[in-house]
Chains A and B, each alone.
Chain A
Amino acid sequence: MALLNSKTKAVLLGPLNKNNPVIVQVLGICSALAVTSKLEPSVVMTIAVVVVAGFGNVVISMLRNTIPNRIRIIVQLVVVAALVTIVSEVLKAYLYDVNKQLSVFVGLIVTNCILMGRLEAFALGNGPWPSFLDGVGNGLGYGWILIVVGFFRELLGSGTLFDIPVIPQALYDIGYENNGLMILPPMAMIVIAGIIWVHRYRDKELQEETN
């Protein structure tokens, strides 16, 4: 069996575009906004979510025939919370500075609606391998939004990327200034609104009728 046939490919790649968890399904917005003022925490957050989503889906998918339907939410929460605890301990051990910047948002991966949504909608009805791809796909779909937002906010807000200055000094000399507003959280919403605008302009099917 090939590892990627057309169906599993759709499962993996769909969330990157048409079914994007952030800009189409409106899930997992909280952390997408709070951690993106710099590029580095956005990347770390992306990796953390990809890992938790992928493995959470696998675990639930393997347990799906044994979980009693009535207590499934609590079981899902416990599985996710256990995975997040592992990720957060790893971050504390190896990336302490980034962990400080992310503060409570690592813990808040537990309540990231993307995870619960995927567990509920996909992992409970599919085998471990497609579920894993689905989790990874959704994590990446969430991640690229984070990275794009983090890129623009750090570039325009601090003139750096990964804390390395990229705007040449000559530009500052002729009067260019960093836009301090980009660092502030509301601007994340504006950048995401911009992404939504472009995305929906290109893909007319996704446009809504009412406000």
Chain B
Amino acid sequence: MDAISLIVRSIFVDNMIFAYYLGMCSYLAVSKNVKTAVGLGFAVTFVLMLTVPLNYMLENYVLKAGALEWLGESFKDIDLSVFSLLIFIAIIASTVQVVEMVIERFSPGLYTSLGIFLPLIAVNCAILGGSLFMQQRAFPNIGIATAYGFGSGIGWLLAIVGLAAIRERLQYSNVPKPLKGLGITFIIVALMGVAFMSFSGIDI
């Protein structure tokens, strides 16, 4: 039950895009059409689902203060949390590499349409943000952590598909010249964010 409410929360209330503005760069760059947006959204969800639990295990069995206790009494006082950033980003970069190879093997079409953005997932703030929030919130077990990764990913997918759909429609509207392209996209994202804020404060 906890897991389900956490998923719903992280999709709507704590949406990666609208509540924390994570993963904005690729969000703005890849949202020109719905098809690629869906592809990138699923790739992000998948990577989040892998990296959050992986980093959760590292955090709790290696990095946290006293986490190395399972090695023996003498390791009890070791606190490696200074290295968490380095370790997290290394795990993320290598996971992305693996995902890239898997997609290339099984779905060449998706691979070419994602192009440069697949390797860029490694530097997508949403992915590292997921791991850092996981560390900050100290989830009780790995199932909850996975659920959090999944929910955040789906929230991100929802947001990018929504924006892509609106931008496809926008082709036909008459926007003031200096606002064309980037400017109007920012305003749309802001309005979507205001809409998503109506979810905040809901207790699930």
A interface list, Cβ under 8 A from B? 23, 26-31, 33-34, 73-74, 77-78, 81-82, 84-85, 88-89, 103-104, 107-108, 110-113, 116, 184-190, 192-193, 196-201, 207-211
Bound Cα distance A198, B86 (Å)? 39
Residues of B near A23 (CB, < 8 A) are 182
The distance in angstroms between the C-alpha atoms of A110 and B125, with both chains bound, is: 8
B149 at the interface (CB under 8 A from A): no
The answer to whether A77 and B122 touch across the interface, beta carbons within 8 angstroms, is yes
Interface range, B side: 35 or more
- Main SS of the interface on chain A? helix
Task: Determine the chain A residues whose CB is within 8 A of the CB of B90 once the complex forms.
Answer: 74, 77-78
A113 and B187: CB pair below 8 A? no
Question: Assuming the A-B contacts A33-B21, A108-B22, A211-B167, are A74 and B124 also in contact, with contact meaning beta carbons closer than 8 angstroms in the complex?
Answer: no
Q: Are A116 and B123 closer than 8 Å at their CB atoms?
A: yes
Contact A81 B191 (CB under 8 A): no
- With contacts A34-B22, A74-B90, A111-B128 known, what are 5 further pairs, Cβ within 8 A? A30-B21, A185-B193, A190-B186, A210-B171, A211-B180
Mark B157-191 against chain A: 1 for CB-CB distance below 8 A, else 0: 00000000001001101011111111110110111
Q: How far is the CA of A112 from the CA of B179 in the complex (A)?
A: 25
Q: Which residue of chain B has the shortest Cβ distance to A194 in the bound complex? A: B183
Contact check: which of B19, B21, B85, B170 meets A85 at CB < 8 Å?
Answer: B85
Residues of B within 8 A of A184 (CB): 194, 197
B183 neighbours in A (Cβ, 8 Å): 193, 196-197, 200
A-B contact pairs, 22 of them (CB 8 A): A23-B182, A29-B28, A30-B25, A33-B24, A73-B93, A74-B93, A77-B123, A85-B83, A85-B86, A108-B129, A111-B124, A116-B123, A184-B194, A186-B190, A189-B186, A189-B189, A193-B179, A196-B178, A199-B178, A200-B177, A200-B178, A200-B183
